[in-house]
Amino acid sequence: MTVSARQNSEPGHGYDAIMFSYRHAFHAGNHADVIKHLTLLATLRHLMRKDSPLLLVDTHAGAGIYRLDDDAAHTSGEAAAGIARLQSLLTNAKPPSTSAPNPNAKALADYLALIASFNRDGRDGWRVYPGSPLLMHALMAEPARAPVHDRLKLFELHPTDAQALQAHIEQLDAGRQVTMARQDGFDGLKALLPPPPTAGGSRRALVLIDPSYEIKSDYAKVAAAIQDALKRFATGVYLVWYPIIPRPEAHGLPRRLKTLAQQAGRAWLHATLNVGTAPSGTGLSASGMFVVNPPHTLKAALDTALPQVLHALGDGRGRGQTWSVEAGGAG
């Protein structure tokens, strides 16, 4: 796959000062992407054990795939401190300060094998990192799954990222199975739920909600989106990523989501990863994933994978390193 050239990729070089300064290219493959995509893939793998089609929705899709050798990745160094350290688990070519174990956690091995499949010529370092749209498509398109005909709906507002995403999905040659809109993902989601019944009469959906939280109102919008989605389609699987930062809205979001899941009588899972403060003392060091209606296998998968992720990503970083997985059953 050709990864589109990116323009206007400096942080803060925005079209709109508030809405559009976030560019995922600076963060692709960092620790937050690792917990997010690990959780997403383990969830999707479980849902795909059943042979009935899924509606997959990514409300905040980004550009779809990112270069790890361009200025954005080099400037931030986030992928080098994230996915590049995990790559060493596969190759056993340990980075200088890391004594990491092999990825014997199945979910971690699966995630890394999938990233490796986008980097087949990358023996001396992975060159690209697939975002959530291309990761989900990769699973839909696997030969054993392709005949099921899952559908993927993507939303992305940033003009440059939306254009890059459109170009990347055109290369997939997936026709109407994968579509995108340059539209607000919170609004777009409403029109998609409940999913239409399939020929077999089943309705199944997985929704990833992954905003950049540049705007404080995103926290409330996420909670409102989950509340609304549970009313429209209570059995959908909903995954929310959020940053763990000293801000009341960020602390409050997982608590609010837990309350919403419990009020709807739905099972939930809450996973967090804190890789410790960076030597520079700046940058995001922790984030979480909240899942409504998680597969029953997800807790065990993350309980095994996250300590290994932390072992690799926390090396050489400072205070606060921890991971957690908490889950609650349907009420």
> Which residues have a catalytic role annotated?
210
Site for ligand SAM in 234-293 (CB under 6 A): none
Q: Which of residues 201-230 bind ligand SAM (CB under 6 A)?
A: 210-212
Question: What span, in angstroms and rounded, lies between the C-alpha atoms of 162 and 158?
Answer: 6
Q: Which range, of 182-190, 229-237, 255-263, 264-272, touches ligand SAM by CB under 6 A?
A: 182-190
Piece in contact with ligand SAM (CB under 6 A), picked from 6-14, 53-61, 95-103, 141-149: 53-61
Q: CB-wise, 58 or 150, nearer to ligand SAM? A: 58
- 161 to 180, contacts with ligand SAM by CB under 6 A? 161
| Contacts by residues 247-254 (CB-CB < 8 Å, ≥ 24 positions apart) | 247/216, 249/216, 249/219, 249/220, 250/213, 250/219, 252/219, 253/219, 253/222, 253/223, 253/290, 254/288, 254/290
Closest CA to 305 of 35, 13, 2: 35
DSSP state, residue 305:
H
Within 10 Å of residue 246's Cβ, how many Cβ atoms?
6
Structure tokens at 309: 């992720």
Q: Is the peptide bond before 246 cis (omega within 30 degrees of 0)?
A: no
Question: Cβ 301 to ligand SAM, closest distance in Å?
Answer: 19
* Pure H helices in 12-59: 31-47
To ligand SAM, the closest distance from the beta carbon of 319 in angstroms equals 26
Contact 6, 65 (CB under 8 A): no
Give Cα separations from 284 to 30, 155, 164, 243, 295 (angstroms): 10, 25, 26, 8, 28
Q: Is 22 in the site for ligand SAM (CB under 6 A)?
A: yes
Window 27-46: contact mask with ligand SAM (x via CB under 6 A):
---------x----------
Q: How far is the CB of 181 from ligand SAM (least distance, A)?
A: 9
Q: How far is the CB of 239 from ligand SAM (least distance, A)?
A: 10
Q: Which of 25, 54, 57, 157 binds ligand SAM (CB under 6 A)?
A: 157
211 versus 236: smaller Cβ distance to ligand SAM: 211
Shortest distance in whole angstroms from residue 72 CB to ligand SAM: 13
Q: How far apart are CA 294 and CA 42, in angstroms?
A: 10
Point out the residue whose Cβ comes nearest to ligand SAM.
131
Interface of this chain with ligand SAM, residues 57 to 116, rule: CB under 6 A: 58, 60-62
Supply the minimum distance, in Å, between the C-beta of residue 11 and ligand SAM.
Answer: 13
Q: In this complex, which beta carbon is closest to ligand SAM, that of residue 57 or of residue 264?
A: 57
Q: Among 99-107, 153-161, 222-230, 284-292, which window interacts with ligand SAM (CB under 6 A)?
A: 153-161
Closer by beta carbon to ligand SAM, 212 or else 285: 212
Number of Cβ atoms within 10 Å of the Cβ of 276: 19
One-letter amino acid of 58: D
Output the 3-class SS for 190-214: HCCCCCCCCCCCCCCEEEEECCCCC
In the complex with ligand SAM, the residue whose CB is nearer, 34 or 301, is 34
- Is 110:48 a contact under the CB 8 Å cutoff? no
Residue of 29, 82, 103, 131 interacting with ligand SAM (CB under 6 A): 131
- To ligand SAM, the closest distance from the beta carbon of 260 in angstroms equals 20
3-state class (DSSP) for residue 104: coil
Residue nearer to ligand SAM on the CB measure, 150 or 210: 210
| Residues within the interface to ligand SAM (CB under 6 A) | 22, 24, 36, 58, 60-62, 131-132, 155-158, 161, 184-186, 210-212
